């Protein structure tokens, strides 16, 4: 349920109903559990000099959360498709090489990296977040929750990428300093494989009288906590078969962490830290309903709707 002043109340898609009721229970239906990556309290899956990286996946995307220091190099050889890089700190310089280009980035940026070989050369101390599709088995195997996706989760259709950008694949770098605009929801960018919504910083805890329980019919949502702490409230439909029922989930996820919310569970997330809370939402492939909202996707002209 969205409040009238929530931009999502204008969505027309059945994929995001803005309804506090879950999708109609279907006899014989199966529902996946939520998945969590608690990067603050679990060991990393990969370590190298200057690098500690945690991996957690959904069905169509995998997040590589890296704490890095100067001299670290994050490489991909023969990457099959585009991926995104998020550098959430302002003073976190990196150099990135891909597609025959070398670009310098000071920090506080989102980067789309083309297919093929690429390397990120870290020059500061801080966080580098890479988000990939799950087209690469080698990356999928690194995920702490890889076993949870040994079989495809229900209610999610086969992945279909968006068309290639008309101007071709290349490094694309976007400054996160985008001022808010009335009627626009967050700060959204998309590529052929992913959509990221970098929400504004939330000062203090979320007003619990202004939550937004809703459900998605056929896609997962990744909620990546960068600062503060979030409680993810999730409820699944009931079917005639009690074996399908799941207990409500109210998991507390201190940053840094990732929650992967399955369809068609209703859900809402509440920042609870008294100072700052910061969340990034991840969708794969890009959401059509967000994409059809005028002005919501900040790089829409580079990746036209299929």
Residue 80 has pLDDT above 70, yes or no: yes
Residue 21 — very low, low, confident or very high, per pLDDT cuts 50/70/90? low
Residue 28 — very low, low, confident or very high, per pLDDT cuts 50/70/90? low
**pLDDT, mean of residues 126-148:** 97
Convert the pLDDT of each residue in 203-257 to its tens digit. 999 999 999 999 999 999 999 999 999 999 999 999 998 998 999 999 999 999 9
pLDDT at 138: 95
Domain ranges of the chain: 7-302
Could you tell me the CA-to-CA distances from 268 to 67, 109, 173, 186 in Å, in that order?
Answer: 28, 26, 30, 16
pLDDT at 297: 98
Q: Could you tell me how many helices (H) and strands (E) the chain has, helices first?
A: 2, 22
Distance (Å, whole) CA 268 – CA 231: 9
141: left (phi over 0), alpha (psi -120 to 50) or beta: alpha
Token pair recorded at residue 178: 């985008």
CATH architecture of 7-302: Sandwich (2.60)
- Matching residue, tokens 């008294």: 274
pTM metric for this prediction: 0.93
pLDDT at 14: 45
């Amino acid at each position: 349920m969205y409040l009238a002043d929530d931009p999502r109340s204008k969505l027309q898609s059945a994929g995001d109903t803005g309804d506090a009721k879950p999708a109609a229970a279907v006899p014989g239906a199966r529902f996946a559990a939520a998945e969590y990556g608690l990067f603050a309290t679990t060991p990393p899956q990969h370590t190298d000099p200057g690098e500690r990286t945690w991996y957690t996946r959904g069905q169509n995307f995998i997040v590589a959360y890296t704490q890095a220091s100067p001299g670290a190099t994050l490489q991909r050889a023969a990457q099959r498709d585009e991926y995104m890089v998020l550098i959430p700190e302002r003073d976190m310089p990196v150099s990135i090489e891909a597609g025959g280009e070398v670009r310098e980035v000071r920090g506080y940026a989102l980067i789309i990296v083309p297919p093929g070989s690429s390397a990120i050369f870290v020059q500061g101390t801080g966080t580098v977040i890479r988000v990939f599709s799950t087209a690469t088995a080698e990356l999928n195997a690194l995920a702490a929750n890889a076993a949870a996706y040994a079989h495809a989760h229900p209610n999610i259709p086969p992945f279909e990428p968006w068309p290639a950008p008309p101007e071709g694949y290349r490094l694309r770098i976007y400054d996160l300093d985008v001022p808010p605009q009335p009627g626009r929801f967050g700060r959204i960018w998309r590529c052929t494989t992913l959509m990221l919504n970098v929400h504004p910083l939330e000062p203090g805890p979320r007003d619990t009288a202004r939550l937004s329980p809703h459900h998605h019919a056929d896609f997962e949502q990744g909620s990546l906590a960068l600062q503060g702490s979030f409680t993810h409230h999730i409820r699944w439909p009931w079917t005639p078969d009690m074996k399908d029922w799941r207990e409500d989930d109210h998991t507390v996820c201190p940053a840094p962490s990732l929650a992967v919310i399955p369809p068609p569970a209703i859900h809402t997330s509440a920042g609870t830290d008294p100072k700052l809370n910061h969340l990034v939402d991840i969708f794969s492939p890009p959401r059509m309903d967000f994409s059809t909202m005028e002005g919501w996707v900040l790089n829409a002209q580079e990746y036209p709707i299929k």
